[in-house]
Homo-oligomer: A and B are copies of this chain.
């Protein structure tokens, strides 16, 4: 079960299983299951999936402006004039941008940092797209920067650094912290409850 390879499959299939097993969220077992499933329906599933991957590998690229992933030099959000409302939402990576978009609430543009500052991993501002963010604040007439970074130590350190840099030039905000919708107090960590209590609102 652990690490063992299917001796009887030929090496082309073994290689595919090993490649799939390296994907986040998959391991050797689930990669084997996925590959067997694909092989059983190879005309219907495997060949089209291979084609689609090749198409995306050839066309995918980062937006030159914000760092979002898409197939054009400038992503649809940056290209959409209706979204040039002076608000930029700063996120750590593209998955966070997609999560924000799914909520459908934010009508401005985004800026993907590509990570967080980290003294431990020696990631400095120039390793992220922070200089580019400063440029955009000037050139796009930005009035508000929303720091939607993860509520981790590195995320918050990065938020503080950016806030320092932009102090006095734009309105700055961060996502509210508190009890998630549908969340039960009993399942929340102490930090979240403390934050929710400190930020309590009068009714």
The reply to whether A57 and B53 form a contact with Cβ atoms under 8 Å apart is: no
- Given that A9-B98, A19-B49 are contacting pairs, would A56 and B69 also be in contact in the complex, using a CB cutoff of 8 Å? no
* A152 beta carbon closer than 8 Å to chain B: no
Using Cβ atoms and an 8 Å threshold, which residues of chain B touch A55?
12
On chain A, which size bracket covers the interface?
35 or more
A116 to B107, CA, bound (A): 54
The reply to whether A4 and B102 form a contact with Cβ atoms under 8 Å apart is: yes
* A169 beta carbon closer than 8 Å to chain B: no
Stretch at the interface among A40-48, A124-132, A142-150: A40-48
A97 to B38, CA, bound (A): 17
Shortest beta-carbon distance, A59 to chain B, in Å?
A: 6
A75 to B97, CA, bound (A): 47
Using Cβ atoms and an 8 Å threshold, which residues of chain B touch A190?
1, 4
Stretch at the interface among A26-34, A160-168, A194-202: A26-34
* A52 beta carbon closer than 8 Å to chain B: yes
The reply to whether B56 and A12 form a contact with Cβ atoms under 8 Å apart is: yes
Using Cβ atoms and an 8 Å threshold, which residues of chain B touch A46?
53, 56-57, 60
Residue in B closest to A33 when the chains form the complex, CB atoms: B24
Give 1 or 0 for each of A65-76: 1 = CB within 8 Å of chain B CB.
Answer: 000111110011
Give 1 or 0 for each of A85-117: 1 = CB within 8 Å of chain B CB.
Answer: 000000001110111011010000010000000
The reply to whether A101 and B13 form a contact with Cβ atoms under 8 Å apart is: no
The reply to whether A52 and B98 form a contact with Cβ atoms under 8 Å apart is: no
Contacting residue for A69 out of B13, B93, B187, CB 8 A = B13
The reply to whether B70 and A10 form a contact with Cβ atoms under 8 Å apart is: yes
Shortest beta-carbon distance, A159 to chain B, in Å?
A: 22
The reply to whether A53 and B59 form a contact with Cβ atoms under 8 Å apart is: no
9 inter-chain pairs at a CB distance below 8 angstroms, sorted by A residue, are: A1-B189, A6-B102, A8-B70, A8-B110, A13-B69, A22-B45, A32-B95, A38-B53, A42-B57
